[in-house]
Amino acid sequence: MDLASLFVRAAVAHRAREYFAAIGHRAQELEKLQSQKDAAVEDATKLRKQLAKKDYLVQAALRRPTSYSAYSGADEPSIILLGYWTSRLDPRVRDVPRLVPAGRRLPVYPVRDGRIMQTRLDAKKASPGAYQAMLALENFVRRSATIEPSLIELVKMRASQINGCAYCIDMHSKDARAQGESEQRLYALSAWRETPFFTARERAALAWTEAVTLITKGHVPDAVYEQARQQFSDEDLVNLTMALVAINGWNRLAIAFRAMPGEYQPAARQQEGGKR
């Protein structure tokens, strides 16, 4: 083999090595790019989830509640970033504080039909006369009726449970606690028939509460009426029924106009002279 052939073969081998080295390098670059792409897809998925969560928090923050402590909360990063995300995503809430005060929790609002629930209107402001008429009945029940206040709170809370009124359940559970009611009895109230925690008078009142509230189911059976008559005088039974008329009315106002639970405190009622 002559020298020229050797040079040709060497050149071809050198070019072949360069070519295969370039292919290997390109393959490494492609593998690296694929890894970067996979990481980017994962990051994008996480970001979408974070944005969805922050958007929910923005919608909740739009209402700017007066009491943060009344609601269950979100995780700490969401609390810390609340002001940043709300100012970035929605200019309407730039005044939301950037940090929730120590010891407070970020509000998480109930959702109905895919929308965050908001108060529809303030019945007290919309129709003061009608509201004062309801208050007159409420004040009679609380101040003039001869039934013990602790029992009034129990029947109001039970009627609110039946009607599904979160605002009134929150209010009357707090009022009951403020009057010394035990947690055990409040927790067992919805199953009072299966517990030994309630007196015969209370059991008669609770049975009467359920029958009057669920008026279309049996139209207050005679057995329930006779049980109530054994524990209450005629006047007391009428007063107890008026208490149920009042709470069923409040339940319907609160549910219809979406009164937001959590902000009520018993001390506020005392300062207002017993007003609701």
DSSP-assigned states of every residue in 107-122: ----EETTEE------
Which has more pLDDT, 252 or 49? 252
pLDDT tier for residue 81 given thresholds of 50, 70 and 90 = very low
The one-character DSSP state at 92 is G
- Contact assessment for residue 54 and residue 89, using Cβ atoms and an 8 Å cutoff: yes
* Per-residue pLDDT at 31: 85
pLDDT at 117 exceeding the cut of 70:
no
- Contact assessment for residue 206 and residue 104, using Cβ atoms and an 8 Å cutoff: no
Euclidean distance between CA atoms 75 and 84, whole angstroms: 15
β strands within 85-166, DSSP E: 111-112, 115-116
Domain spans in the chain, listed from the N-terminal domain onward: 3-116, 123-271
pLDDT at 27 exceeding the cut of 90:
no
Average pLDDT over residues 213-236: 96
Q: State the CB neighbour count (10 A cutoff) for residue 37.
A: 10
Closest Cα to residue 154, out of 129, 180, 130?
A: 180
pLDDT at 97 exceeding the cut of 50:
no
Helices 166-178, 149-163: inter-axial angle, 10-degree rounding: 160
* Per-residue pLDDT at 60: 57
Which has more pLDDT, 257 or 60? 257
Provide the mean pLDDT of the chain: 79
CATH fold, domain 123-271, is AhpD-like (1.20.1290)
Average pLDDT over residues 19-39: 82
Residue 228 CA to its chain's centroid (Å):
36
First-to-final CA distance of the chain: 112
* Per-residue pLDDT at 43: 84
pLDDT tier for residue 99 given thresholds of 50, 70 and 90 = very low
Which has more pLDDT, 56 or 166? 166
Of 20-29, 172-181, 187-196, 265-274, the poorest mean pLDDT is in: 265-274
Average pLDDT over residues 22-46: 83
pLDDT tens profile 150-209: 999 999 999 999 999 999 999 999 999 999 999 999 999 999 999 999 999 999 999 999
0.85 exceeded by pTM = no
Of 87-96, 119-128, 227-236, the poorest mean pLDDT is in: 87-96
